[in-house]
Amino acid sequence: MAETERLRTFLAIYRSGSLTDAAYHRGISQPAASQHLAALERTVGAPLFVRVPTGVTPTQRAHELYGQVAEPLDALEAALAELHGDASRAPGPAVRFGSSPEYFGAEVLPRIAGTDIAVTALFGDDDELLELVDRGEIDVAVTSTTPRRRSLTSVAVGSRQFTLVAAPTAAPDPPLRTVRHLAAWLPDQPWVSYSLELPVTRRFWQTVLDRPFTARPRLVAPDLRAVLRAVELGIGVSLLPTFVCAESLAAGSVVEPFPVSGRIEASPWFACTRAGEARRPALRVLLTSLGAPLPQPASAATPSRPGGSGRAARSGGSGRAARRIAP
């Protein structure tokens, strides 16, 4: 049992990057955590961590040991949590979670609000986040693509749809009634976007409007919240993930010139972890929450919107950089 306790302390240090945090989450003193680590280092015959200004960083030997013991120890934690009847209250460090800030704010926070899961968030693009998961620096990342590395696994956790939005003052009058009318109106509108690549937008123009993208770019801003704000200010129109603009649609600060969400194929989100990690109690609860419908307010009314479909679905999230699907 002594070796098991030392290994549990090792996992806590590895995942939190701090002796102090590991001791707190394990419910032991910091001197006790240091003693566990020192004894384990004597057993393996090599240093496991190097002290840095922000805490500790694992050595190559620590990465190897982690790969050997993480899965069986996580299975033990899961079994103990089930015996106690509440996996979300199982001891352990905070789940280190990576995604875009937009996805985290709109999709993660509402789901963890009713749980006791502790989360430390980090934001980045898909490639950055998957690298951090692979190195063990974060526990899970939600990305727009599945990982190519054999050491990582993924599970789908919902999808995102897209909505064409404009400021109320920019909405066509009379309202557009057909796709042909939309194809005639849209090229004359200034366009606001997250990036110059516009993969979803260009595909929408080609497949739905049957023409190449020819709108005049008015603003490119690498933050979907800034893109939405630009639309609200009348700077241009945009194709945005529905969850990003749902609240603005409900408030009437933006409208749908024409309902297009049903004409654009939804894009999936994937929760990526190291192989075997998903069985960790708190991580398992979090992954289950990400795949569940968003909790709805006690009383939710869907206001009518000029030129819109009356729908304000919250589906999926946005990515952050080149590897995410950006409108």
Burial of 17 (C-beta count, 10 Å sphere; 0-12/13-18/19+):
buried
Q: How far apart are CA 87 and CA 79, in angstroms?
A: 9
Strands 95-99 and 140-143: parallel
Q: What is the largest CA-CA distance in the chain?
A: 78
**H helix or E strand, kind and range, residue 4:** helix 2-16
pLDDT tens figures, 101-134: 999 998 999 988 878 888 999 999 899 999 888 8
Q: What is the DSSP letter of 237?
A: B
Average pLDDT of the residues in 222-240: 95
Q: In whole angstroms, what is the distance from residue 92 CA to residue 113 CA?
A: 18
Given CATH 1.10.10.10, say whether it is the number of domain 1-86. yes
* pLDDT band of 269, cuts 50, 70, 90: very high
What one-letter code names the amino acid at 124? G
In the predicted model, what is the mean pLDDT of the chain?
83
Please compute, for residue 199, the number of CA atoms within 13 A of its CA located in the half-sphere on the CB side. Answer: 11
51's tokens: 């002290």
Comparing 89 with 96, the larger pLDDT belongs to: 96
DSSP string, 49-118: EEEETTEEEE-HHHHHHHHHHHHHHHHHHHHHHHHHT-GGG---PPEEEEE-HHHIIIIIHHHHTTS---
In this prediction, residue 98 carries a pLDDT of 95
Number of Cβ within a 10 Å radius of residue 220: 15
Give the per-residue pLDDT at 291: 82
pLDDT of residue 152: 83
Whether pLDDT at 262 is above 60: yes
CA angle 247–155–148, rounded 5-degree value: 110
Report which listed range, 2-11, 124-133, 223-232, 295-304, is most confident: 223-232
pTM above 0.95, yes or no: no
Tens-place pLDDT, residues 16-45: 788 887 887 788 888 889 999 999 999 999
Does 167 have pLDDT greater than 80? Answer: yes
DSSP β-bridge partners for residue 153: 273
Range with the lowest mean pLDDT among 64-68, 274-278, 288-292, 323-327?
323-327
Which is it for strands 267-274 and 140-143: parallel, antiparallel or unpaired? antiparallel
The pLDDT score that the predictor gives to residue 1 is 59
Q: Which CATH code fits 162-266? A: 3.40.190.10
What pLDDT shows up at residue 55? 85
pLDDT at position 91: 45
- ω into 175 cis (within 30 of 0): no
Q: What is the pLDDT of residues 280-307, one digit of tens each?
A: 777 888 888 888 777 765 444 444 444 4
pLDDT of 318 strictly over 80: no
Kindly list the distances between the CA atom of residue 108 and the CA atoms of 157, 316, 317, 324, in Å, as whole numbers in the listed order: 11, 10, 9, 17
Domain ranges of the chain: 1-86, 162-266
pLDDT at position 158: 87
Per-residue pLDDT tens over the stretch 47-66: 999 998 878 889 999 988 98
Average pLDDT over residues 85-104: 73
